[in-house]
Amino acid sequence: MLNLVIFGPPGCGKGTQSARIANKYGLMHLSSGDLLRNEIEKGSDLGNHVKHYVEKGFLVPDSIILKKVYKNTIRFINSAGIIFDGFPRSLVQAVMLDKFLNKKGLNLNMVIHMLVDRSELFNRLTGRAEDSGRKDDTEQIFRVRMRVYEKQTHCLKEYYSAQNKILQVNGMAPVEEVSAKIANAIDYYREKNEVFSDVI
Ligand code: ADP
């Protein structure tokens, strides 16, 4: 299996890139945000429970997201691989994911860290708000999500760097260019079993 994680600040393009990579390499796209929004839309108990966290821009409790991700990972275990999009989002989640995968005899191969300037993120999200209809795509909630990212998620960089798994990608380039660079790095990894150390 080829198991990847993609993370970065809100609006960095991880959803778009995940879909493109999943398509190119036949991977399963596991988006924690989509899983949660789906539950909210259905009006399930879980959806009603997480609604306020998601709409206010806070992380939902680890126990909820972990259960959901484990269940879906098991569903995808015989696939070509999984791209985890939006998960893990904290150190606890990262450690738990490693433990879970190890128990199943699996591991993460590469962790894609998307780099985008704050002003660009803000422009993208306010632009997206009109189409996405997402309640968390407002200026105020964007600020909360940014703060949550900096406080709880950005530390994943150190965690995965220590495992030599971090691929840093300049996410300011056009979508196709970013995808091509990531694909290059994936092909390189498959050939050499090594992650590019430079920012691409
Ligand atoms: P974005 O990265 O653009 O902010 P996502 O779709 O990845 O959007 O996530 C939307 C929201 O869903 C988050 O702000 C958070 O409330 C919730 N969420 C998604 N993934 C997780 C996670 N791994 N842990 C906790 N909460 C999560």
Give the fold, CATH level 3, of 4-192: Rossmann fold (3.40.50)
pLDDT per position as a tens digit, 23-61: 999 999 999 999 999 999 999 999 999 999 999 999 999
pLDDT more than 70, % of the chain? 100
pLDDT per position as a tens digit, 71-108: 999 999 999 999 999 999 999 999 999 999 999 999 99
Distance CA 73, CA 78 (A): 10
Distance CA 193, CA 186 (A): 9
Fill in the DSSP letter of residue 158: H
How close is the Cα of 28 to the center of ligand 1, in Å? 18
Q: Is there a contact between 134 and 40 (Cβ–Cβ < 8 Å)?
A: no
Q: Is there a contact between 71 and 155 (Cβ–Cβ < 8 Å)?
A: no
How close is the Cα of 191 to the center of ligand 1, in Å? 33
| Residues within a 6 A CB radius of ligand 1 | 10-11, 32-33, 36, 53-54, 57-60, 65, 86-87, 89, 93, 136, 145
Return the ligand 1 atom nearest residue 8 CA.
2
- Name which residue sits closest to atom 16 of ligand 1, judged by CA: 54
Task: Give CA torsion, residues 89, 196, 176, 3, to 10 deg.
Answer: -50
Domain ranges of the chain: 4-192
Structure tokens belonging to residue 172:
């300011």
Mean model confidence pLDDT for the chain = 94
